[in-house]
Each structure stands twice: as structure tokens, then as C-alpha cells.
């Protein structure tokens, strides 16, 4: 479950949903489900996750490779955006309460969203 810290409401929509479904439809159900399973497995290990740090820089041979090669047709920017939307989808559908924000590291903005578990 994804919660807005601004107003405390549950977020039940995917931003840029048109793009999300456009790219998702280029993946098989099996490919998408493997990505979701892998992300859930990684999310289970910690209470804080930053989207741009999760997949690593080389997706070759990983469940994330079809995001780049198939869904986004080798477009780096779209692959990064679609990965972020998949992560949003996964966290939004988890039973725990999560929120998110944009943060800095060494005074430099972190590219992706950082998600963290909350207790409300």
C-alpha cells in the first residue's frame, strides 16, 4: 500500500498509466510477473529502497533485460522510467504501508524515488 505523506491518503493509481500499459503490453505476462516477483523479493529484504539503485547498471541476463530490449526497444530513458513505474506498481500492491520522496546524496539529487516503510 502506498501512502501520501502530504495528506495520509492511500495512492491507488499508477502515474503515467498510459505509458505504463503501453510498455507493459510489449512484455509477456511471464516476463512481467518475473520482474514483479524479483522486485517483491528484493523489497522483502529492507525497509528503504531507491528505484534508480535497485536494478543495477547492466540488465543483461536478468529479469529486467526485457524492459530494455523488448518493452522499451533499447531506449535507456524509457527503460528507466518504465522500471520506476513497475516498482511503483509493486509497492502500491504490497500489504505494508509505504511512502516515498525525492532526496539528495552529497547535495546531488537522486534520480529515482526513494520508498520507505511507514507506520501510521
- Number of structural domains (the chain) is 1
Which residue's C-alpha cell is 527503460?
79
pLDDT of residue 74: 97
**Residue 104 φ then ψ, to 5°:** -120, 150
How many degrees, rounded to 5, is the angle at CA 34 between CA 29 and CA 40? Answer: 125
pLDDT in tens, 41-81: 999 999 999 998 898 889 999 999 999 999 999 999 999 99
Range of the domain at 77: 2-117
Query: Residue 88: which pLDDT band, with cuts at 50, 70 and 90?
Result: very high
d(CA 104, CA 5): 18
List of residues 6+ apart from 104 with CB closer than 8 A: 110
Instruction: Report yes or no: 79 and 62 within 8 Å, Cβ to Cβ.
Output: no
> Which range, of 36-40, 51-55, 57-61, 83-87, averages the lowest pLDDT?
51-55
| Percent of the residues in the chain that have a pLDDT greater than 90, as a whole number | 80
Amino acid at each position: 500500500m502506498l501512502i501520501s505523506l502530504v495528506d495520509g491518503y492511500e495512492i491507488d493509481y499508477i502515474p503515467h498509466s498510459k505509458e505504463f500499459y503501453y510498455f507493459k503490453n510489449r512484455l509477456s505476462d511471464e516476463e512481467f510477473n518475473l520482474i514483479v516477483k524479483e522486485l517483491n523479493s528484493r523489497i522483502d529484504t529492507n525497509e528503504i529502497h531507491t528505484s534508480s539503485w535497485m536494478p543495477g547498471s547492466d540488465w543483461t541476463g536478468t529479469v529486467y533485460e526485457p524492459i530494455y530490449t523488448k518493452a522499451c526497444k533499447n531506449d535507456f530513458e524509457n527503460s528507466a522510467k518504465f522500471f520506476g513505474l513497475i516498482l511503483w506498481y509493486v509497492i502500491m500492491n504490497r500489504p505494508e504501508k509505504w511512502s516515498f520522496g525525492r532526496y539528495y546524496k552529497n547535495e546531488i539529487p537522486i534520480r529515482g524515488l526513494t520508498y520507505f516503510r511507514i507506520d501510521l
